[in-house]
């Protein structure tokens, strides 16, 4: 657990980060439904399945989960507009898996059918970053 001391006048309050129920709830009620929606929309739009995972070794806190959720939403929003012709579908169907993770900066790497989209905790990998790398 992470402990933070906050000065308020002459008192110090100890605030404990909640590493438990709140994170589990957010993962199950917000992040994973966004991931499942992204997988479904990608398959519907691009014509091929994708498996999206959240790297729980790096995405641990609620603050990290928000950008992960947003990255999944970028797939849901971006796939229908992008996969509108055979060449674009073929390009995107190269990606078989997508991992959402936290790193030092927001990036997208693609190798051997596996994509890794990262957040730095503030910025998140966009759909355009993904398509630019896959289209190379």
Please state, in angstroms and rounded to a whole number, the distance separating the CA atoms of residues 13 and 9.
10
The residues, ordered by sequence, that sit 6+ positions from 21 with a Cβ below 8 Å of its Cβ are: none
Say if CB 97 and CB 113 are below 8 A apart: yes
Give the pLDDT of residue 48.
Answer: 97
Instruction: Give residue limits of the domains in the chain.
Output: 23-134
The token pair at 70 is 């947003």
* pLDDT tens-digit readout, 76-120: 999 999 999 999 999 999 999 999 999 999 999 999 999 999 999
* pLDDT tens-digit readout, 45-66: 999 999 999 998 999 999 999 9
pLDDT band with cut points at 50, 70 and 90 for residue 21: confident
The residues, ordered by sequence, that sit 6+ positions from 1 with a Cβ below 8 Å of its Cβ are: 16, 17, 19
């Amino acid at each position: 657990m992470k402990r933070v001391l906050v000065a308020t006048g002459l008192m110090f309050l100890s605030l404990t980060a909640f590493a438990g129920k709140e994170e589990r709830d957010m993962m199950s009620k917000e992040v994973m439904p966004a991931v499942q929606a992204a997988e479904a929309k990608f398959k519907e739009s691009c014509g091929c399945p994708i498996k999206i995972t959240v790297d729980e070794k790096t995405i641990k806190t609620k603050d990290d989960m928000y950008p992960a959720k947003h990255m999944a939403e970028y797939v849901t929003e971006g796939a229908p507009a992008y996969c509108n012709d055979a060449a674009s579908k073929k390009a995107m169907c190269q990606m078989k898996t997508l991992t959402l993770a936290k790193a030092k900066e927001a990036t997208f790497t693609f190798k051997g059918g596996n994509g890794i989209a990262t957040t730095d905790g503030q910025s998140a990998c966009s759909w355009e970053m993904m398509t630019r790398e896959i289209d190379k």
